[in-house]
Structure 1
Amino acid sequence: RALEGQLRQVFANVAELSAVRVDSTGGVVHLRGSVPSDAAMERAVGFASERDGVLYVDSELEVDQAVDTRVESTWTRLSRRVEQLAARLPLYGIALAIVALFWFLGSLIRGRSKRRKNPLLRNIGRQLLGALVLLAGLAIALDLLEATAILGAVLGTAGVVGLAVGFAFKDIIENYLASVLLAVRRPFAPGEHVQIGGHEGKVVRLTSRDTVLMTLDGNHLRLPNAEVFKSVTTNFTLNPRRRFLFTVGVGVAEDLTAMQQVVTRTLHEMEGVLGDPEPFTRVLELADFTVTVEVYGWVDQRDYDFGKVRSEAIRRVKVALDEAGVDMPYPTQVVVQAEAAPEKPAPVSDVPAHDLRADHDLDKQVEEDRERSEETDLLAASE
């Protein structure tokens, strides 16, 4: 009886449970009557189950489906929520002020990050700093509202979504991360002559997706940044001095020492070939009818064109060997008549056949393309 009285007293003081009737027998509590909602029914059963001496709760409660009752219940809940909202409005205002303050601080930090030279790093740093500051403000605001569980749920959902997006856009993300690493390492700069994975040309720009080269034929070549990052890169511009090589075949009966002296002297006297490091020759191999000699020389690419100097060096060496009477046989059988005297080659002028100065035509095309393009160049320094 004491248990029944206790439950009746509690239910009578709760508006939505005032119509509940209580009977108890041997530790079994019987609940009958109507309640305005399923939630009220669950609260009534739960409260009765928690009482001492209750072994089982037999619920025969029903949800009242009368229109006036439902409307009244809904209105009561709405009024209660409005009152709660009005009571918490000052807290919401303070939370919004905290978020606005941290957003303003993030804007200040993003403004300071503009001092970075690299546009990609500047953008990443700006976004990260702004997001971290704003996230800190949201955490403080939610803690003030005792709603930090929302932040955890949002972060968890964002992590799952980020993982799914990462798998779906693997190539795009890989290229973007590669562009970040390339922008940090800067293995090349705009206008430099490079060879990347077998592709040769001059660097036009680095974007968040690809690296743009202008080939020596004047064509645009776009290489995915992930491929550029993983490929072997040769930069022909970082060291202005570049070595050229070509081979010469001379007869097996020739004096190789004299022949090598003729070649090195010719290169020493030639414009465009550096004296330090000095040009040199090296005997490569001996065949049945010829000896192969490698000829090396160095070019300063800041003042002279590599291809032009190499071409002129081959021409001059050939002329010098002809004038010195050095035999340069070809892989055929030659019948020599005793009465026929070998003809001397016609003298050749020492005037260079070509202009050996550096060719800047491709550099001009690269610069024109960079000025026309609206793409962001991650290799460019900020003004």
Structure 2
Amino acid sequence: MEWRKPIFFLALLTCFACIETTWSQEPPVSERETAPISQTSSAQEDLRIKNRLEEIFAQSPGLEKVSVKVEAGVVVLRGEVALEKYRQNALETARKVEGVVSVQDNITEISDLKKSLTPSFQKLRQRFYSILSQGPLILIAAVIVLLFWGFGRLLTQWNRLFHRMTSNPFLAEIARHLVRGFLFILGLILAFDFLDATAFLTTLLGAAGLVGLALGFAVRDVVENYVASILLSVRQPFSPNDLVVIDDLEGQVIRLTTRATILLTLDGVLLRIPNAKVFKGVIFNYTRNPLRRFDFEVTIGTDQEIAKVQAIGLKALKKMEDVARDPSPQIWVEKLGDSRIWLHVYAWVDQSQWDWFKVKSETIRRFKRAFDEAAVEMPEPIYNLNIRDRSAGPPKKGQEKLTHDEEEALNESMDLRPSLVMDKQIQQQKVMSEEPDLLDSEKPKE
């Protein structure tokens, strides 16, 4: 949930403020190391060394149990410490006091868990008291962050502003997130500046930059896919229901999401293609241009008059209302063989009114019918050897041809308009899915 984000950053802000306050209250190390201790006489010097070390150990975390004995400038340290670093700190402190000749280490490191954790608990207690003392400032800083966060939420709910910036809903949503994030970060910067903790903010931003760089390499494919989604939503290379081929993957477009392009293949299979692959791939769009050409080959015998056969074929094509008149259909001689001639037929279909596959199928059927009526021979290089018994009677007749009335009835029953089967399935997929569609039918197309 989005309300958890500002709470998390406020808790982080509080911790950083406490650390800044605690560290700022500790005296610099250089001041402790360079403070000289002057002594005047031997007896008084030993006493003052002892008193000075006891005062220092009493104020140093982890050294409260260390006792000091001084004789003729020789310091003997006894007692218990929880960690090795505390023992080293006591020895270094004793050696730096003016007038100390040598230091004898009789300090023991205790293994009791409770005693070992006591200095840490004391430090935590000091941090807690520091939080309480800085409470009003932290509260004001938290209010600053919440105000900027709330203003960002309120501003991003102004839909008209972002629709004026861009009509693309995907880009408008990205703009919302950028504005909201910018205002929230600005509030954090002001809050840290109010707490005089800008050094921690700089460290935090640097760490965030390194983490972002590492994540960028780790999720490079995800980022590439997301950027491709933005570019595809701007370019709009296809529209919903367009029949496309993307790197040998064919289907009708259902939607474009932030991760993938959803297609429905002609077999009714749902296909998801990553947008990075779509953006870099070769796209064939068969629907963008309503006119689409189809072609097929026919063969005739070498004894046939080519011009006459071409005229018969063109006449059959022009009788079909589903075949486009402009561009006009054409029949060209493709190849001449020993026993037959290859003709190549080209014709166009207006896909906004007719189904391309159905028109091509119907054209081939009517072409064959016209050739049969004109007795145009269409030989095949196949040799049939029939061996039969003459006593078995005459051979069986082949399949009878359709009568004129049957042919007309068949032509009337053929519906060559675009099929609505795929459109219905695509509409069902759109209703079932909750993912936003980045394709805009009203936007300029590529």
TM-score, normalised via structure 2 length: 0.65
- Name the CA shift for 1:346/1:131 in 2 (closer, same or farther; >3 Å): closer
Q: Retained in 1: the 8 A contact 2:38–2:98? A: no
SS of match in other structure, 1:2: coil
1:170-225, CA deviations, whole angstroms, 9 ceiling, x for partnerless residues?
Answer: 6x666555544443433222222222333332222234444332233434334444
Task: Kindly report which structure 2 residues correspond to 1:318-333, keeping only aligned pairs within 5 A, or say none.
Answer: 318-332=368-382
Task: Using the TM superposition, name which of 180-189 and 297-306 deviates more.
Answer: 180-189
- Name the CA shift for 1:13/1:198 in 2 (closer, same or farther; >3 Å): same
Residue 84 in 1 paired to residue 130 in 2? Answer: yes
- Name the CA shift for 1:30/1:191 in 2 (closer, same or farther; >3 Å): same
SS of match in other structure, 1:331: coil
Aligned sequence identity (%): 35
1:231-265, CA deviations, whole angstroms, 9 ceiling, x for partnerless residues?
Answer: 43221111111111111212223332333233334
- Name the CA shift for 1:56/1:211 in 2 (closer, same or farther; >3 Å): farther
1:93-140, CA deviations, whole angstroms, 9 ceiling, x for partnerless residues?
Answer: 232123213322432453346635555444444334433433343344
Q: Retained in 2: the 8 A contact 1:139–1:151? A: no
> 1:296, CA displacement in angstroms?
0.8
> 1:152, CA displacement in angstroms?
4.3
List runs of 5+ in structure 1 lacking aligned partners: 336-344
From 245, 266, 288, give the equivalent of 1:195: 245
Residue 135 in 1 paired to residue 185 in 2? Answer: yes
Give distance in 2, aligned partners of 1:93 and 1:132.
22
- Name the CA shift for 1:348/1:49 in 2 (closer, same or farther; >3 Å): farther
Task: Kindly report which structure 2 residues correspond to 1:294-333, keeping only aligned pairs within 5 A, or say none.
Answer: 294-332=344-382
Letter in 2 for 1:306: W
- Name the CA shift for 1:82/1:306 in 2 (closer, same or farther; >3 Å): closer
- Name the CA shift for 1:270/1:49 in 2 (closer, same or farther; >3 Å): farther
SS of match in other structure, 1:319: helix
Residue 358 in 1 paired to residue 418 in 2? Answer: yes
> 1:271, CA displacement in angstroms?
0.2
Task: Kindly report which structure 2 residues correspond to 1:258-297, keeping only aligned pairs within 5 A, or say none.
Answer: 258-297=308-347
Task: Kindly report which structure 2 residues correspond to 1:96-115, keeping only aligned pairs within 5 A, or say none.
Answer: 96-112=142-158, 115=163
Give distance in 2, aligned partners of 1:78 and 1:318.
95
Q: Retained in 2: the 8 A contact 1:284–1:292? A: yes
Letter in 2 for 1:355: D
**Partner residue of 1:256?**
306
From 254, 274, 281, give the equivalent of 1:204: 254
Give distance in 1, aligned partners of 2:346 and 2:286.
17
The count of corresponding residues between Structure 1 and Structure 2 is 367
> 1:297, CA displacement in angstroms?
1.1
Letter in 2 for 1:360: L
- Name the CA shift for 1:140/1:225 in 2 (closer, same or farther; >3 Å): same
Give distance in 2, aligned partners of 1:184 and 1:302.
25
Letter in 2 for 1:2: S
TM-score, normalised via structure 1 length: 0.74
Residue 32 in 1 paired to residue 80 in 2? Answer: no
Task: Using the TM superposition, name which of 126-135 and 98-107 deviates more.
Answer: 126-135
**Partner residue of 2:140?**
94
- Name the CA shift for 1:55/1:324 in 2 (closer, same or farther; >3 Å): farther
> 1:45, CA displacement in angstroms?
4.6
Q: Retained in 1: the 8 A contact 2:293–2:346? A: yes
**Partner residue of 1:16?**
59
Give distance in 1, aligned partners of 2:133 and 2:101.
41
> 1:355, CA displacement in angstroms?
2.3
Letter in 2 for 1:93: L
Task: Kindly report which structure 2 residues correspond to 1:37-186, keeping only aligned pairs within 5 A, or say none.
Answer: 41=87, 43-47=89-93, 77=123, 80-112=126-158, 115=163, 117-143=167-193, 144-146=195-197, 147-148=200-201, 151-152=204-205, 154-155=207-208, 158-159=211-212, 162=215, 166=219, 178-186=228-236
- Name the CA shift for 1:119/1:35 in 2 (closer, same or farther; >3 Å): farther
